[in-house]
């Protein structure tokens, strides 16, 4: 039982979904209620809720919520509407595979439902299950990740792969919460993560709540910081891991992996199996979201670049598998040979660890 604050970002409330508005953090802590499927779509598309697992959880609740008010005459008609709404929500963001994974899991859950009432209840249970499961999964990832660090290590991260990006604990940030619980000192160096500053606004905020030692730097300070502060390792989350281990994550991750190689320090990816997409063969096949130019030309709503300037704003990049020292999942740590090792994780029995 933790005695320190680990914030949560999504809650099911029977008639609606409540989320922590991640757009407003850290200056305003605001919870908003999502009542319709359009509210859920908007919350995902505008990053009010973000981070691959949290997107999946919210979308699952959104689909269950929408389906709870269907007044179709047959279960087949119910399933047809469900698939339409599944496709609508799937359009909210393209890169994080957890969105499609969660939605498809709900659709599959009612494949054999015999009544509309049964289908409605099953969808809600499945969405709750996805969230409960993710908390456990993140804790396991944290345990595995923590085994890779020594007390006193200084670890760099980018974006926010923390508690508010998941059900709880996070992926890349989970080891820092578990270290805190066990009284192990680790220091985190968080990149601010332009353009929308998930590192500065979210990672710094949530780690500080929990009393984890965190130091904020701007993205262009990474190389100097690795050298001057003798960073021991880099750990990041993922939005989609291809079958061969190529990993899409927040823009800037690829650069950090190149720096890790150059400095001879390990580069770790921490992610649940729900982020591994065996149907995507390599990173070449991962769709990379490009977002609105305003995210680059403006900072906190204030213009910082000339009007009309050309902008390129990819939200993610792909780190090639050869730059990844290890992929840390809830089922253990995989090093190299990803092409065969990743598929075999799915067949592996759950490894219950005492914590």
Q: Residue 241 is encoded by which pair of tokens?
A: 């891991």
Reduced to 3 states (helix: H, G, I; strand: E, B; else coil), residue 18 is strand
Region near ligand MRU per CB under 6 A, out of 102-110, 118-126, 233-241, 301-309: 233-241
Per CB under 6 A, does 249 bind ligand MRU?
yes
- x/- site string to ligand MRU, residues 60 to 99, per CB under 6 A? ------------------------------------x---
Q: What letter would DSSP give residue 351?
A: -
Q: How far is the CB of 283 from ligand MRU (least distance, A)?
A: 14
Among 34, 315, 324, 326, binds ligand MRU (CB under 6 A): 315
Is residue 250 within a helix (H) or strand (E), and if so which, with residue range? strand 247-250
Largest CA distance in the chain: 67
Among 62, 94, 142, 170, binds ligand MRU (CB under 6 A): 170
Among 58, 198, 225, 232, binds ligand MRU (CB under 6 A): 198
d(CA 132, CA 285): 30
Q: How far is the CB of 238 from ligand MRU (least distance, A)?
A: 6
Exactly one of 239, 246, 277, 317 is catalytic; name it.
239
Write b or e for each residue in 158-185: b if 16 or more Cβ atoms lie within 10 A of its Cβ, otherwise e. bbbbbbbbbbbbbbbbbbbbbbbbeebe
Nearer CB in complex with ligand MRU: 82/269: 269
Per CB under 6 A, does 137 bind ligand MRU?
no
39 given a catalytic annotation: no
Dihedral angle over CA of 278, 281, 282, 285, nearest 10: -100
CB atoms within 10 A of CB 88: 17
Is residue 33 within a helix (H) or strand (E), and if so which, with residue range? strand 31-34
Q: Residue 243 is encoded by which pair of tokens?
A: 């079958």
Among 89, 137, 159, 200, binds ligand MRU (CB under 6 A): 159
Q: Which residues are annotated as a binding site?
A: 50-52, 93, 198, 249-250
Residues recognised as catalytic: 239
Residues that bind ligand MRU (CB under 6 A): 50-53, 96, 159, 161, 165-166, 170-171, 198, 237-239, 249-250, 315
């Amino acid at each position: 039982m933790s005695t320190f604050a680990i914030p949560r970002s999504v809650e099911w409330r029977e008639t609606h979904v409540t989320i922590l508005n991640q757009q407003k953090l850290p200056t305003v802590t605001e919870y908003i209620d999502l009542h319709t499927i359009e509210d859920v779509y908007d919350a995902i598309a505008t990053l009010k809720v973000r981070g691959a697992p949290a997107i999946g959880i919210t979308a699952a609740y959104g689909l269950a919520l929408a389906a709870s008010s269907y007044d179709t005459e047959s279960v087949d008609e119910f399933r047809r509407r469900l698939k339409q709404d599944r496709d609508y929500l799937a359009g909210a963001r393209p890169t994080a595979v957890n969105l499609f994974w969660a939605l498809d899991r709900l659709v599959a859950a009612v494949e054999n439902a015999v009544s509309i009432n049964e289908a409605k209840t099953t969808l809600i249970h499945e969405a709750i299950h996805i969230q409960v499961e993710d908390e456990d999964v993140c804790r396991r990832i944290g345990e595995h990740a923590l085994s890779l660090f020594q007390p006193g290590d200084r670890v760099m991260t980018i974006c926010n792969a923390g508690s508010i990006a998941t059900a709880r604990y996070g992926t890349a940030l989970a080891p820092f919460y578990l270290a805190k619980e066990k009284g192990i000192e680790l220091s985190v160096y968080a990149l601010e993560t332009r353009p929308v500053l998930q590192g500065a606004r979210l990672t710094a905020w949530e780690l500080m709540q929990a009393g984890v030692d965190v130091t904020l730097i701007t993205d262009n300070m990474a190389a100097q910081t690795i050298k001057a502060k003798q960073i021991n390792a880099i750990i990041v989350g993922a939005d989609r891991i291809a079958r061969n281990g190529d990993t899409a994550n927040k823009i800037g991750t690829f650069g950090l992996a190149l720096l890790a190689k150059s400095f001879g320090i390990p580069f770790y990816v921490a992610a649940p199996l729900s982020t591994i997409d065996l149907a995507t063969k390599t990173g070449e096949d991962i769709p990379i979201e490009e977002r609105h130019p305003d995210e680059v030309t403006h900072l906190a709503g204030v213009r910082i670049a000339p009007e009309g300037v050309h902008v390129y704003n990819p939200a993610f990049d792909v780190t090639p598998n050869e730059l990844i020292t290890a992929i840390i999942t809830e089922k253990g740590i995989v090093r190299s040979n990803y092409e065969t090792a990743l598929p075999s994780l799915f067949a592996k029995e759950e490894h219950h660890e005492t914590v």
